[in-house]
Amino acid sequence: MVDTQRTLLLGNLAAVEGAIYAGMRFFAGYPITPSTEVAEGCSRELPKIGGRFIQMEDEIASIAAVVGASVSGMKAMTATSGPGFSLMQENIGYAYITETPCVVINVQRGGPSTGLPTKVSQSDTMQARWGPHGDYTAIVVAPSTVGDTVTETIRAFNLSERFRTPVVILMDEIIGHQRELISLPKPGEHQVINRVKATVPPEEFEPFQLTANGVSPMAAYGEGYRTISTGLTHDPMGFTTNEPEEIKVKLDKLRNKIMDFRSEITKLRVEMMDDAEIAFVSYGSVSRAVLLAVALARSAGVKVGLVQLYTVWPFPDNKLRDYCQKCQKIIVPELNMGQIVHEIRRVMPPDTEIHSLQRYDGEILTPMQILEKLEEVM
């Protein structure tokens, strides 16, 4: 039987497929290499399903329109790359404090500034976590293949709706511009989560109330609740506050609604770690080269494994420690000057040898380079 769902797909278009599967019906964006195909795909596909696509005047406006659509009840997304991601940060911060679900795709390229528009990089790993000013906790996921991009985009929307928060998908130029033969998911194959809607009478509704599962129900505009969203620090009603105890409650909520439920968010891929003495920890497209390097090293009898972070933030402290507890050495390959490696240093016992393998000249880390580093470390 022919699998009609089988298709040769560009990574950036896989993100569109995943988003539509997850219920995304609103896209606002601005062209930027190497993410533009996400916007192009949305402009083609969304009208066919009654969705909405708008090309805004810049990236600041794009994320603003996405937030506007989300408070109106739609699942909304934007996609960009380094410079555009930098421009979006203030309004991503607005989405954090107003607890507005939305998805932001960053198809990473080299930087700083205009940098390397057509070349791969993972140098926004920290920006994705710490980009907007102020205190909050971020959820960031990172696919490594075209197939992953579909499932991670669905997962990003689910997390966003479940936790009422923006979720960043850290793609990179390699994944975005790669074509792979994949099977698109069938309806019902993946769970699709929708935000919990307000059900109490409007006069009793508190849009930012504390709840057992960390997340307040949400009322869409135009549905009788007339809520207020403000970027000023606010109380459970959404009214602005300067009261120290109310400020602390709000900021604790932004952190705790994610950190108290970290196990729901963390997702790792673990390969050949059972007897591994040396571990690679990686995320994004680099993981593909690492996987091949690990297979080659294993065939030469080296006890080495891979832990791949599908959830980059919040960082999976405990799980990583568990998986790597027997490893004396960890190698962290990244397409940057060493970003996530600091988290691994923070998490692992001080006697673990941690090696950073960096490449930041716009090229990929090859399996041979990864094997060379392994040899050096051994």
Spatial distance between the Cα atoms of 226 and 307, rounded to a whole number of angstroms: 46
Nearest-approach distance from CB 96 to other proteins, in angstroms:
12
Q: Which residues, in sequence order, are CB contacts of 295 under 8 Å at separation 6+?
A: none
Could you say which of 71, 88, 140, 365 contacts other proteins (CB under 8 A)? 71
> Is residue 264 within a helix (H) or strand (E), and if so which, with residue range?
helix 262-265
Q: Which residues, in sequence order, are CB contacts of 127 under 8 Å at separation 6+?
A: 85, 86, 89
> Is residue 25 within a helix (H) or strand (E), and if so which, with residue range?
strand 24-29
The residue (of 186 and 226) whose beta carbon lies closer to other proteins is 226
Nearest-approach distance from CB 126 to other proteins, in angstroms:
22
Q: Which residues, in sequence order, are CB contacts of 195 under 8 Å at separation 6+?
A: 101, 161, 162, 164, 217, 218
194 touching other proteins, by CB under 8 A: no
236 touching other proteins, by CB under 8 A: no
Helices 244-259 & 82-97 angle (0-180, nearest 10):
120
> Is residue 312 within a helix (H) or strand (E), and if so which, with residue range?
strand 311-313
264 touching other proteins, by CB under 8 A: no
Could you say which of 73, 83, 217, 236 contacts other proteins (CB under 8 A)? 73
378 touching other proteins, by CB under 8 A: no
66 touching other proteins, by CB under 8 A: yes
Which neighbouring-strand residues pair with 129?
Answer: none
Could you say which of 118, 211, 230, 328 contacts other proteins (CB under 8 A)? 230
Q: Which residues, in sequence order, are CB contacts of 353 under 8 Å at separation 6+?
A: 328, 329, 330, 377
The residue (of 222 and 244) whose beta carbon lies closer to other proteins is 222
Spatial distance between the Cα atoms of 96 and 57, rounded to a whole number of angstroms: 23
User: 159 near 103, Cβ under 8 Å?
Assistant: no
The residue (of 47 and 328) whose beta carbon lies closer to other proteins is 47
Sign of the CA dihedral running 323, 327, 328, 330: negative
- The interface region with other proteins, picked from 42-50, 164-172, 295-303, 317-325 by CB under 8 A, is 42-50
Spatial distance between the Cα atoms of 220 and 230, rounded to a whole number of angstroms: 15
31 touching other proteins, by CB under 8 A: no
Q: 26: which DSSP letter?
A: E
226 touching other proteins, by CB under 8 A: yes
- The interface region with other proteins, picked from 55-63, 106-114, 115-123, 152-160 by CB under 8 A, is 55-63
The residue (of 240 and 256) whose beta carbon lies closer to other proteins is 240
65 touching other proteins, by CB under 8 A: yes
67 touching other proteins, by CB under 8 A: yes
Could you say which of 9, 10, 28, 88 contacts other proteins (CB under 8 A)? 28
Residues that bind other proteins (CB under 8 A): 26, 28, 47-50, 52, 54, 56-58, 60-62, 64-74, 76, 90-91, 94, 203, 221-232, 237, 239-240
